[in-house]
Chains A and B, each alone.
Chain A
Amino acid sequence: MDTAVTQQRSMLSQLGAIDCDVHPDAPGREDLLPYFDDYWREIVTTRDVDRLELTNFPTRTKPFFREDWKATEGKGVEKLRKNLLDPYGLKYAILNCVTAVHAIYDPYLATAVCRATNDWLKAEWLDRDPRLRASLVLPMQNPEAAVEEIERFADDKRFVQVLTLCMGEMPLGRRTYWPVYEAAQRHGFALGVHAGSAYRHAPSQSGFLSYLAEDYVHQVQGFAAQVGSFVSEGVLGKFPDMKIVLIESGVSWLPGQMWRMSKDWRGARIEIPWVKESPSALVRRQIRMTTQPFDAPRDPAELERIIEHLDCDDMLLFSTDYPHAQFEGEAAIPAGFPERLIDRLVRENALATYPRLED
Protein backbone atom coordinates (compact mmCIF):
# COMPACT_ATOMS: atom_id res chain seq x y z
CA MET A 1 0.00 0.00 0.00
CA ASP A 2 1.55 3.32 -0.94
CA THR A 3 1.77 6.25 1.42
CA ALA A 4 -0.86 8.34 -0.30
CA VAL A 5 -3.37 5.56 0.26
CA THR A 6 -2.41 5.13 3.90
CA GLN A 7 -2.66 8.85 4.36
CA GLN A 8 -6.09 9.07 2.83
CA ARG A 9 -7.31 6.18 4.97
CA SER A 10 -6.01 7.55 8.22
CA MET A 11 -7.28 11.01 7.40
CA LEU A 12 -10.76 9.64 6.75
CA SER A 13 -10.87 7.76 10.03
CA GLN A 14 -9.38 10.65 11.99
CA LEU A 15 -12.03 12.97 10.66
CA GLY A 16 -14.81 10.46 11.26
CA ALA A 17 -15.76 10.33 7.62
CA ILE A 18 -19.35 9.85 6.54
CA ASP A 19 -19.78 7.92 3.33
CA CYS A 20 -22.97 9.18 1.73
CA ASP A 21 -23.37 6.56 -0.95
CA VAL A 22 -22.91 2.90 -0.16
CA HIS A 23 -24.87 0.17 -1.89
CA PRO A 24 -25.96 -2.94 -0.08
CA ASP A 25 -26.44 -6.01 -2.27
CA ALA A 26 -29.81 -5.54 -3.95
CA PRO A 27 -32.18 -7.90 -2.18
CA GLY A 28 -33.87 -10.68 -4.14
CA ARG A 29 -37.08 -12.49 -3.32
CA GLU A 30 -35.44 -14.93 -0.94
CA ASP A 31 -34.03 -12.04 1.08
CA LEU A 32 -37.33 -10.24 1.30
CA LEU A 33 -39.71 -13.18 1.86
CA PRO A 34 -39.61 -12.95 5.67
CA TYR A 35 -40.72 -9.32 5.46
CA PHE A 36 -43.87 -9.81 3.36
CA ASP A 37 -47.25 -10.62 4.80
CA ASP A 38 -48.88 -13.83 3.62
CA TYR A 39 -50.73 -12.24 0.71
CA TRP A 40 -47.65 -10.63 -0.73
CA ARG A 41 -45.55 -13.71 0.00
CA GLU A 42 -47.99 -15.65 -2.13
CA ILE A 43 -47.94 -13.02 -4.87
CA VAL A 44 -44.17 -12.61 -5.16
CA THR A 45 -43.72 -16.35 -5.13
CA THR A 46 -46.43 -17.33 -7.57
CA ARG A 47 -45.87 -14.44 -9.92
CA ASP A 48 -42.09 -14.63 -9.95
CA VAL A 49 -41.32 -11.25 -8.49
CA ASP A 50 -37.75 -12.22 -7.94
CA ARG A 51 -34.64 -10.52 -9.14
CA LEU A 52 -35.33 -6.89 -8.34
CA GLU A 53 -32.65 -5.24 -10.36
CA LEU A 54 -32.91 -2.27 -12.72
CA THR A 55 -31.82 -2.90 -16.31
CA ASN A 56 -30.41 0.57 -16.22
CA PHE A 57 -28.47 -0.03 -13.00
CA PRO A 58 -27.49 -3.68 -13.11
CA THR A 59 -25.72 -4.20 -9.83
CA ARG A 60 -24.37 -7.61 -10.70
CA THR A 61 -22.49 -6.47 -13.80
CA LYS A 62 -18.79 -5.76 -14.02
CA PRO A 63 -18.79 -1.96 -13.70
CA PHE A 64 -21.13 -2.16 -10.75
CA PHE A 65 -19.03 -4.47 -8.60
CA ARG A 66 -15.33 -3.78 -8.25
CA GLU A 67 -13.32 -6.97 -8.75
CA ASP A 68 -11.21 -6.73 -5.59
CA TRP A 69 -14.22 -5.98 -3.44
CA LYS A 70 -16.20 -8.76 -5.03
CA ALA A 71 -13.41 -11.22 -4.28
CA THR A 72 -13.55 -10.60 -0.54
CA GLU A 73 -14.91 -13.51 1.48
CA GLY A 74 -18.26 -13.20 3.14
CA LYS A 75 -21.50 -11.45 2.37
CA GLY A 76 -23.84 -8.74 3.63
CA VAL A 77 -22.63 -6.62 6.50
CA GLU A 78 -19.61 -8.80 7.07
CA LYS A 79 -18.30 -8.15 3.58
CA LEU A 80 -19.07 -4.47 3.84
CA ARG A 81 -17.11 -4.25 7.08
CA LYS A 82 -14.07 -5.89 5.53
CA ASN A 83 -14.16 -3.90 2.33
CA LEU A 84 -15.21 -0.50 3.52
CA LEU A 85 -16.27 0.27 7.07
CA ASP A 86 -13.10 -0.95 8.77
CA PRO A 87 -10.37 0.00 6.31
CA TYR A 88 -11.77 3.51 5.79
CA GLY A 89 -12.53 3.97 9.46
CA LEU A 90 -15.94 5.35 8.60
CA LYS A 91 -18.06 6.96 11.25
CA TYR A 92 -21.21 6.41 9.23
CA ALA A 93 -22.10 4.86 5.92
CA ILE A 94 -25.44 5.70 4.33
CA LEU A 95 -26.94 2.74 2.51
CA ASN A 96 -28.76 3.45 -0.70
CA CYS A 97 -30.61 0.44 -1.89
CA VAL A 98 -31.22 0.92 -5.61
CA THR A 99 -33.55 -1.76 -6.86
CA ALA A 100 -36.18 -2.36 -9.47
CA VAL A 101 -38.91 -1.46 -7.03
CA HIS A 102 -38.98 1.94 -8.72
CA ALA A 103 -39.84 0.28 -12.00
CA ILE A 104 -42.77 -1.81 -10.81
CA TYR A 105 -46.02 -0.58 -12.37
CA ASP A 106 -48.49 -1.95 -9.82
CA PRO A 107 -48.53 0.73 -7.10
CA TYR A 108 -49.55 -1.72 -4.39
CA LEU A 109 -46.93 -4.28 -5.27
CA ALA A 110 -44.38 -1.46 -5.33
CA THR A 111 -45.51 -0.40 -1.89
CA ALA A 112 -45.26 -3.94 -0.52
CA VAL A 113 -41.76 -4.37 -1.94
CA CYS A 114 -40.67 -1.00 -0.53
CA ARG A 115 -41.95 -1.92 2.91
CA ALA A 116 -40.22 -5.28 2.82
CA THR A 117 -37.02 -3.69 1.57
CA ASN A 118 -36.98 -1.12 4.35
CA ASP A 119 -37.67 -3.78 6.98
CA TRP A 120 -34.92 -5.91 5.48
CA LEU A 121 -32.52 -2.94 5.54
CA LYS A 122 -33.30 -2.40 9.18
CA ALA A 123 -32.98 -6.03 10.29
CA GLU A 124 -30.17 -7.24 8.05
CA TRP A 125 -28.02 -4.12 7.97
CA LEU A 126 -28.79 -1.34 10.42
CA ASP A 127 -29.30 -3.68 13.36
CA ARG A 128 -26.00 -5.38 12.62
CA ASP A 129 -23.59 -2.48 12.62
CA PRO A 130 -23.98 0.78 14.52
CA ARG A 131 -22.10 2.69 11.81
CA LEU A 132 -24.79 2.06 9.24
CA ARG A 133 -27.47 4.52 8.25
CA ALA A 134 -29.91 4.18 5.36
CA SER A 135 -32.29 5.77 2.93
CA LEU A 136 -35.90 4.73 2.93
CA VAL A 137 -36.94 3.25 -0.36
CA LEU A 138 -40.21 4.90 -1.33
CA PRO A 139 -43.01 3.86 -3.70
CA MET A 140 -43.25 7.11 -5.66
CA GLN A 141 -45.86 5.34 -7.81
CA ASN A 142 -48.14 5.79 -4.81
CA PRO A 143 -47.41 9.06 -3.00
CA GLU A 144 -49.93 8.34 -0.26
CA ALA A 145 -48.20 5.10 0.61
CA ALA A 146 -44.84 6.87 0.39
CA VAL A 147 -46.02 9.30 3.06
CA GLU A 148 -47.18 6.38 5.22
CA GLU A 149 -43.79 4.74 4.84
CA ILE A 150 -42.09 7.95 5.99
CA GLU A 151 -44.37 8.05 9.03
CA ARG A 152 -43.71 4.40 9.80
CA PHE A 153 -40.00 5.06 10.16
CA ALA A 154 -40.14 8.59 11.51
CA ASP A 155 -38.86 7.47 14.89
CA ASP A 156 -35.99 5.37 13.62
CA LYS A 157 -33.33 8.02 13.18
CA ARG A 158 -31.05 5.58 11.42
CA PHE A 159 -33.07 6.28 8.30
CA VAL A 160 -31.82 9.70 7.32
CA GLN A 161 -33.04 10.14 3.77
CA VAL A 162 -35.79 9.09 1.38
CA LEU A 163 -34.71 7.72 -1.94
CA THR A 164 -35.91 7.95 -5.49
CA LEU A 165 -34.43 7.82 -8.99
CA CYS A 166 -33.31 10.58 -11.30
CA MET A 167 -35.43 9.10 -14.10
CA GLY A 168 -38.79 7.92 -12.88
CA GLU A 169 -42.35 8.40 -13.96
CA MET A 170 -42.47 12.21 -13.91
CA PRO A 171 -40.20 15.14 -13.23
CA LEU A 172 -39.79 15.21 -9.45
CA GLY A 173 -40.84 18.83 -9.08
CA ARG A 174 -44.46 17.98 -9.91
CA ARG A 175 -47.08 18.69 -7.28
CA THR A 176 -48.06 15.03 -7.20
CA TYR A 177 -44.98 14.43 -5.07
CA TRP A 178 -45.34 17.38 -2.74
CA PRO A 179 -47.08 15.44 0.06
CA VAL A 180 -44.03 13.18 0.13
CA TYR A 181 -41.73 16.17 0.44
CA GLU A 182 -43.93 17.70 3.11
CA ALA A 183 -43.64 14.55 5.22
CA ALA A 184 -39.92 14.23 4.55
CA GLN A 185 -39.27 17.82 5.55
CA ARG A 186 -41.43 17.53 8.66
CA HIS A 187 -39.38 14.60 9.92
CA GLY A 188 -36.01 15.94 8.85
CA PHE A 189 -35.32 13.53 6.01
CA ALA A 190 -33.26 14.65 3.06
CA LEU A 191 -34.51 13.74 -0.40
CA GLY A 192 -32.02 11.52 -2.17
CA VAL A 193 -32.18 11.37 -5.95
CA HIS A 194 -30.10 8.49 -7.17
CA ALA A 195 -28.82 7.54 -10.61
CA GLY A 196 -31.09 5.07 -12.31
CA SER A 197 -34.08 4.93 -14.61
CA ALA A 198 -37.40 3.17 -14.30
CA TYR A 199 -37.52 3.18 -18.11
CA ARG A 200 -40.90 4.85 -18.15
CA HIS A 201 -39.30 7.06 -20.75
CA ALA A 202 -36.29 6.58 -22.93
CA PRO A 203 -33.19 7.96 -21.24
CA SER A 204 -32.45 10.07 -24.30
CA GLN A 205 -34.57 12.29 -26.50
CA SER A 206 -33.71 9.88 -29.30
CA GLY A 207 -34.86 6.74 -27.59
CA PHE A 208 -33.20 3.86 -25.79
CA LEU A 209 -29.46 3.55 -26.12
CA SER A 210 -27.51 0.54 -27.29
CA TYR A 211 -24.89 0.31 -24.57
CA LEU A 212 -24.72 0.44 -20.80
CA ALA A 213 -21.84 2.90 -21.12
CA GLU A 214 -24.09 5.35 -23.01
CA ASP A 215 -26.92 4.78 -20.61
CA TYR A 216 -24.66 5.60 -17.69
CA VAL A 217 -23.46 8.77 -19.42
CA HIS A 218 -27.10 9.78 -19.77
CA GLN A 219 -27.73 9.74 -16.03
CA VAL A 220 -26.44 13.30 -16.07
CA GLN A 221 -29.38 14.35 -18.21
CA GLY A 222 -31.78 12.84 -15.70
CA PHE A 223 -30.17 14.72 -12.84
CA ALA A 224 -30.05 17.96 -14.79
CA ALA A 225 -33.72 17.63 -15.68
CA GLN A 226 -34.56 17.13 -12.01
CA VAL A 227 -32.56 20.18 -10.95
CA GLY A 228 -34.49 22.20 -13.52
CA SER A 229 -37.72 20.71 -12.29
CA PHE A 230 -37.05 21.35 -8.58
CA VAL A 231 -36.14 24.95 -9.35
CA SER A 232 -38.89 25.84 -11.75
CA GLU A 233 -41.76 24.04 -10.04
CA GLY A 234 -40.93 25.94 -6.87
CA VAL A 235 -40.06 22.90 -4.75
CA LEU A 236 -36.94 24.53 -3.36
CA GLY A 237 -38.80 27.53 -2.04
CA LYS A 238 -41.75 25.44 -0.89
CA PHE A 239 -39.70 22.98 1.18
CA PRO A 240 -36.74 25.13 2.22
CA ASP A 241 -35.61 22.86 5.07
CA MET A 242 -35.30 19.74 2.96
CA LYS A 243 -31.95 19.23 1.28
CA ILE A 244 -31.95 17.40 -2.02
CA VAL A 245 -28.98 15.12 -2.56
CA LEU A 246 -27.97 14.11 -6.07
CA ILE A 247 -26.31 10.76 -5.60
CA GLU A 248 -23.87 9.36 -8.14
CA SER A 249 -24.47 12.21 -10.55
CA GLY A 250 -20.96 13.04 -11.82
CA VAL A 251 -20.89 16.57 -10.32
CA SER A 252 -19.00 18.61 -12.93
CA TRP A 253 -22.02 19.15 -15.19
CA LEU A 254 -23.78 21.35 -12.64
CA PRO A 255 -21.99 24.72 -13.05
CA GLY A 256 -22.83 24.90 -16.75
CA GLN A 257 -26.46 24.25 -16.01
CA MET A 258 -26.55 26.84 -13.24
CA TRP A 259 -25.10 29.41 -15.63
CA ARG A 260 -27.65 28.66 -18.29
CA MET A 261 -30.64 28.51 -15.95
CA SER A 262 -29.69 31.72 -14.19
CA LYS A 263 -29.27 33.47 -17.51
CA ASP A 264 -32.56 32.18 -18.81
CA TRP A 265 -34.32 33.02 -15.56
CA ARG A 266 -33.62 36.71 -16.06
CA GLY A 267 -35.66 36.68 -19.24
CA ALA A 268 -38.04 33.80 -18.64
CA ARG A 269 -38.80 34.25 -14.95
CA ILE A 270 -42.26 35.56 -15.75
CA GLU A 271 -43.15 31.98 -16.59
CA ILE A 272 -42.29 30.97 -13.01
CA PRO A 273 -42.59 34.16 -10.93
CA TRP A 274 -42.51 32.16 -7.68
CA VAL A 275 -38.83 31.68 -8.37
CA LYS A 276 -37.63 34.95 -6.89
CA GLU A 277 -33.95 34.31 -6.78
CA SER A 278 -31.56 33.19 -9.43
CA PRO A 279 -31.60 29.41 -9.87
CA SER A 280 -27.90 29.27 -8.95
CA ALA A 281 -28.61 30.77 -5.55
CA LEU A 282 -31.43 28.31 -4.93
CA VAL A 283 -29.36 25.36 -6.05
CA ARG A 284 -26.45 26.36 -3.84
CA ARG A 285 -28.69 26.66 -0.84
CA GLN A 286 -30.48 23.37 -1.14
CA ILE A 287 -28.97 20.96 -3.63
CA ARG A 288 -26.13 18.67 -2.54
CA MET A 289 -24.05 16.17 -4.49
CA THR A 290 -22.07 13.07 -3.61
CA THR A 291 -18.55 12.99 -5.03
CA GLN A 292 -18.26 9.58 -6.68
CA PRO A 293 -18.15 9.56 -9.57
CA PHE A 294 -16.63 12.97 -10.12
CA ASP A 295 -16.33 13.63 -13.81
CA ALA A 296 -13.17 15.68 -13.77
CA PRO A 297 -10.42 16.34 -16.27
CA ARG A 298 -7.34 14.16 -16.15
CA ASP A 299 -5.19 16.88 -14.64
CA PRO A 300 -5.94 17.01 -10.89
CA ALA A 301 -4.97 20.69 -10.87
CA GLU A 302 -8.19 21.42 -12.78
CA LEU A 303 -10.43 20.04 -10.07
CA GLU A 304 -10.07 23.16 -8.00
CA ARG A 305 -11.47 25.16 -10.93
CA ILE A 306 -14.63 23.07 -10.97
CA ILE A 307 -15.00 23.52 -7.21
CA GLU A 308 -14.67 27.24 -7.74
CA HIS A 309 -17.37 27.16 -10.42
CA LEU A 310 -19.70 25.35 -8.04
CA ASP A 311 -18.98 28.22 -5.65
CA CYS A 312 -20.55 26.50 -2.68
CA ASP A 313 -18.42 25.00 0.07
CA ASP A 314 -21.44 23.20 1.51
CA MET A 315 -22.39 21.33 -1.62
CA LEU A 316 -20.23 18.25 -1.82
CA LEU A 317 -20.67 15.10 0.25
CA PHE A 318 -18.02 12.40 0.45
CA SER A 319 -18.97 9.07 -1.08
CA THR A 320 -17.28 5.92 -2.27
CA ASP A 321 -20.22 4.63 -4.28
CA TYR A 322 -19.21 1.23 -2.94
CA PRO A 323 -19.09 -1.34 -4.55
CA HIS A 324 -19.10 0.30 -7.97
CA ALA A 325 -15.87 0.56 -9.86
CA GLN A 326 -15.47 4.33 -9.83
CA PHE A 327 -11.94 4.79 -8.57
CA GLU A 328 -8.73 2.84 -8.29
CA GLY A 329 -7.45 1.50 -4.99
CA GLU A 330 -8.53 3.67 -2.11
CA ALA A 331 -8.48 7.04 -3.82
CA ALA A 332 -12.07 7.81 -2.92
CA ILE A 333 -11.48 11.53 -2.60
CA PRO A 334 -11.01 12.90 -6.11
CA ALA A 335 -7.42 13.82 -6.86
CA GLY A 336 -6.74 17.50 -6.44
CA PHE A 337 -9.59 18.11 -4.00
CA PRO A 338 -8.65 21.26 -2.06
CA GLU A 339 -7.29 20.64 1.46
CA ARG A 340 -9.27 23.47 2.96
CA LEU A 341 -12.57 21.75 2.12
CA ILE A 342 -11.76 18.20 3.19
CA ASP A 343 -13.35 18.55 6.60
CA ARG A 344 -16.55 19.78 5.08
CA LEU A 345 -16.47 17.17 2.39
CA VAL A 346 -16.06 14.15 4.58
CA ARG A 347 -18.15 15.16 7.57
CA GLU A 348 -19.57 18.61 8.14
CA ASN A 349 -21.58 18.93 4.97
CA ALA A 350 -23.23 15.56 5.59
CA LEU A 351 -24.19 16.56 9.12
CA ALA A 352 -25.75 19.75 7.80
CA THR A 353 -27.55 17.89 5.03
CA TYR A 354 -29.00 15.13 7.16
CA PRO A 355 -30.57 16.57 10.31
CA ARG A 356 -31.36 13.06 11.52
CA LEU A 357 -27.70 12.17 11.55
CA GLU A 358 -26.20 12.74 14.98
CA ASP A 359 -22.68 14.00 15.31
Chain B
Amino acid sequence: MAEATHIDVSYVAHLARIHLTEEETALFQGQLNQVLEYVEQLKELDVTGVEPTAHAMSLVNVLRADEPAPGLDHDTVVDNFPAVRDGQVVVPKIIDQS
Protein backbone atom coordinates (compact mmCIF):
# COMPACT_ATOMS: atom_id res chain seq x y z
CA MET B 1 0.00 0.00 0.00
CA ALA B 2 1.24 3.44 -0.91
CA GLU B 3 1.75 5.97 1.87
CA ALA B 4 -1.04 8.25 0.69
CA THR B 5 -3.77 5.63 0.38
CA HIS B 6 -6.98 7.35 -0.41
CA ILE B 7 -10.43 5.90 -0.82
CA ASP B 8 -12.50 7.48 -3.53
CA VAL B 9 -15.90 6.92 -1.97
CA SER B 10 -18.00 7.75 -4.99
CA TYR B 11 -15.95 5.37 -7.14
CA VAL B 12 -16.21 2.54 -4.62
CA ALA B 13 -19.91 3.20 -4.19
CA HIS B 14 -20.33 3.01 -7.94
CA LEU B 15 -18.45 -0.33 -8.08
CA ALA B 16 -20.68 -1.66 -5.31
CA ARG B 17 -23.82 -0.33 -7.01
CA ILE B 18 -24.68 1.81 -3.99
CA HIS B 19 -26.29 5.19 -4.62
CA LEU B 20 -25.06 7.82 -2.20
CA THR B 21 -26.17 11.39 -1.76
CA GLU B 22 -23.52 14.10 -1.56
CA GLU B 23 -23.95 14.29 2.21
CA GLU B 24 -23.55 10.54 2.58
CA THR B 25 -20.45 10.58 0.38
CA ALA B 26 -18.90 13.23 2.59
CA LEU B 27 -19.90 11.38 5.77
CA PHE B 28 -18.43 8.05 4.63
CA GLN B 29 -15.34 9.73 3.25
CA GLY B 30 -14.58 11.01 6.74
CA GLN B 31 -15.29 7.67 8.40
CA LEU B 32 -13.23 5.68 5.93
CA ASN B 33 -10.35 8.09 6.26
CA GLN B 34 -10.38 7.34 9.98
CA VAL B 35 -10.19 3.63 9.23
CA LEU B 36 -7.20 4.25 6.99
CA GLU B 37 -5.53 6.28 9.69
CA TYR B 38 -5.96 3.37 12.05
CA VAL B 39 -4.36 1.04 9.52
CA GLU B 40 -1.50 3.52 9.21
CA GLN B 41 -0.99 3.20 12.96
CA LEU B 42 -0.73 -0.59 12.60
CA LYS B 43 2.19 -0.08 10.26
CA GLU B 44 4.22 1.16 13.21
CA LEU B 45 4.27 -2.37 14.64
CA ASP B 46 7.46 -4.30 14.18
CA VAL B 47 6.43 -7.47 12.32
CA THR B 48 9.90 -8.73 11.50
CA GLY B 49 9.80 -12.51 11.62
CA VAL B 50 6.01 -12.72 11.49
CA GLU B 51 4.74 -14.92 8.65
CA PRO B 52 2.18 -13.15 6.46
CA THR B 53 -1.20 -14.86 6.52
CA ALA B 54 -4.46 -14.46 4.69
CA HIS B 55 -6.43 -15.89 7.55
CA ALA B 56 -6.77 -15.37 11.27
CA MET B 57 -7.31 -19.07 12.00
CA SER B 58 -4.55 -21.63 11.91
CA LEU B 59 -6.75 -24.36 10.45
CA VAL B 60 -6.10 -25.64 6.92
CA ASN B 61 -7.66 -28.20 4.56
CA VAL B 62 -11.28 -28.09 5.61
CA LEU B 63 -12.53 -30.39 2.89
CA ARG B 64 -15.56 -32.46 2.07
CA ALA B 65 -15.86 -35.65 0.04
CA ASP B 66 -17.23 -35.34 -3.49
CA GLU B 67 -20.61 -36.75 -2.55
CA PRO B 68 -23.94 -35.21 -3.50
CA ALA B 69 -25.98 -33.65 -0.72
CA PRO B 70 -29.56 -32.47 -1.05
CA GLY B 71 -29.92 -28.81 -1.98
CA LEU B 72 -32.98 -26.62 -2.09
CA ASP B 73 -36.26 -27.68 -3.54
CA HIS B 74 -36.85 -26.12 -6.98
CA ASP B 75 -40.17 -24.51 -6.01
CA THR B 76 -38.69 -22.92 -2.91
CA VAL B 77 -35.90 -21.43 -4.98
CA VAL B 78 -38.23 -20.19 -7.67
CA ASP B 79 -40.45 -18.58 -5.03
CA ASN B 80 -37.50 -16.38 -4.15
CA PHE B 81 -37.08 -15.14 -7.71
CA PRO B 82 -38.67 -11.74 -8.35
CA ALA B 83 -39.69 -12.89 -11.83
CA VAL B 84 -39.75 -16.39 -13.28
CA ARG B 85 -39.92 -17.92 -16.70
CA ASP B 86 -39.39 -21.61 -17.52
CA GLY B 87 -38.07 -22.25 -14.03
CA GLN B 88 -35.41 -19.58 -14.43
CA VAL B 89 -34.99 -16.16 -12.92
CA VAL B 90 -35.75 -13.31 -15.29
CA VAL B 91 -33.23 -10.49 -15.10
CA PRO B 92 -32.93 -7.25 -17.04
CA LYS B 93 -31.36 -7.94 -20.41
CA ILE B 94 -27.66 -8.54 -19.87
CA ILE B 95 -26.11 -5.98 -22.18
CA ASP B 96 -24.61 -7.82 -25.05
CA GLN B 97 -21.02 -7.03 -25.86
CA SER B 98 -21.65 -5.95 -29.42
Say whether A and B bind each other: no
**Residues on A facing B (Cβ under 8 Å):** none
